[in-house]
Each structure stands twice: as structure tokens, then as C-alpha cells.
Structure 1
Amino acid sequence: MDRPVLLHVAILLALTALGVGTARAASPTPSPARQAQLIHLVRQDCGACHGMQLSGGLGPSLSPAQLADRPDSSLVATVLQGRPGTPMPGWQAFLSASEAGWIITQLKQGFPPLPPCDPPAATC
């Protein structure tokens, strides 16, 4: 193989090792159980920086009004990749692209509250 081909192969192997372009497959709409997990993740983990009501804190507000004019694809990329130079981490190790898209759709509609814990579930 010539040098450019080897370079391309090396880059593809490195990207694969890093998980770039290999998001886990998931259905467009997560199952009800996964939705409950995602709601818990957003309310607890994202809420730690964006405020428990998602109205802002260390991170900006995630209210429908704040997100309305932002492209979904840009918001999904932020969820998955984070924002370099800021405290915003990437979540692609925990979320598929379709799950991140579901979260963005829910945020733009007004994010659901935590599900009730009766009976207690693993996400409570």
C-alpha cells in the first residue's frame, strides 16, 4: 500500500477505536423503560449544571424558549460531543444519536418530570 492509503486506514482505525461514527443503534423512539432512564439522566445529571428545573445554573437554561431557534442537529452534537473549552461533557458513551435526538425533542416541548417511583424502579 502507498503512504496516503496507509494514512487513511490509520485514521479510520483511530476513529473507530475512539467510537467516532459508531454510535449504538437505537430505535427512533426509546422504549418506555429507556425513556424513564433518559428522563432521570437529564433531570439528575444534566440538572446538576443546568439547574434541577433545567432553567439554568452553571450551564444555560434548557427551556423550550431558549432552544427554539437552535437547530436540532447542533443540539444533538452538543449532547454527544460536549463543548470543548467549557464544562459541558460529551455523553456519546451513554447515549445513541437517536436517544440524544429524543432528549432534544423533549427539551423543546418542555421536558417531562421524573417518573413516579411506585413501585420503586432502578432509575429512582
Structure 2
Amino acid sequence: MSLLSRAILLCTLWLLPAQPLMALDIDTAREKELETLLYQDCGSCHGMTLKGGLGPALTRERMNTYPRDGLARLILQGISGTAMPGWEGLLSEQDARWLADHLQNDNPLAR
């Protein structure tokens, strides 16, 4: 992703509506499903260890450059003009928030 594309993406994330996504509890079974989705489906583009592939690396350091709610919205809405699809039809806001939290705090593979 070019420097200009990154700048546009970062600005877009900061300009998203300020209303935060709700951080609702997700049960353990759903967490496991979301981890599988992350490492299998997202990993098919971002690398199975999320350190990059067709898509950029999803390292904790990189994910923490975005606001958490912006990252969750990016997961739901995708990035227009890129191969990053929106997952809104398959994931709830709670799911996206959990994934964003996981990428920013608990991702053991992408350090």
C-alpha cells in the first residue's frame, strides 16, 4: 500500500462517526470461531501468521496505529478500491470489535 493510500486510510478512519461500537461480551465458542476466521480467512490474504502476504501485515504494532473503533469499522466496511472486503454481512459489530481488540492486544502470532 502506497504512502498516499495509507494516509487516506488513516484520515478516513479518524473521520468515521464518533459513536463507539458497543463492546458486548462474546462467548468462548464464538471467540474460537472468530479466531478461526481471522487465521484462516483473513490469513489467506494477510498471511497465515498475519505477517503479510497479498494484504499487509496485521502486526500488533501496526494495528495499534488505528483507533480501535475505526479498525472495527474497517473490518465491517472493507476498503474501497482494494482487495479488502467488508465483512458486515457475516460479522456483527460485537464480532468486529472483538477482532479489533484481538489484533491490538491478544494476537500471539503477529508481533
Structure 2 length-normalised TM = 0.73
- Which residue of structure 2 lines up, in the alignment, with residue 47 of structure 1? 43
The 5-angstrom pairing of residues 72-111 of structure 1 reads: 72-111=68-107
SS at match of 1:38: helix
Aligned-pair Cα RMSD in Å:
1.7
Output the amino acid matched with 1:72.
Answer: R
The 5-angstrom pairing of residues 1-124 of structure 1 reads: 28-111=24-107
Give ranges in structure 1 of 5+ residues lacking alignment. 1-25, 114-124
Structure 1 length-normalised TM = 0.66
Output the amino acid matched with 1:80.
Answer: L
User: Moved runs in structure 1, 4+ residues, more than 6 A?
Assistant: none
For 1:30 and 1:109, locate their aligned partners in 2 and report how far apart those are by CA, in whole Å. 16
Give ranges in structure 2 of 5+ residues lacking alignment. 1-21
Identity over aligned pairs, percent: 41
Structure 1 or 2, whichever has the larger Rg, is: 1
SS at match of 2:99: helix
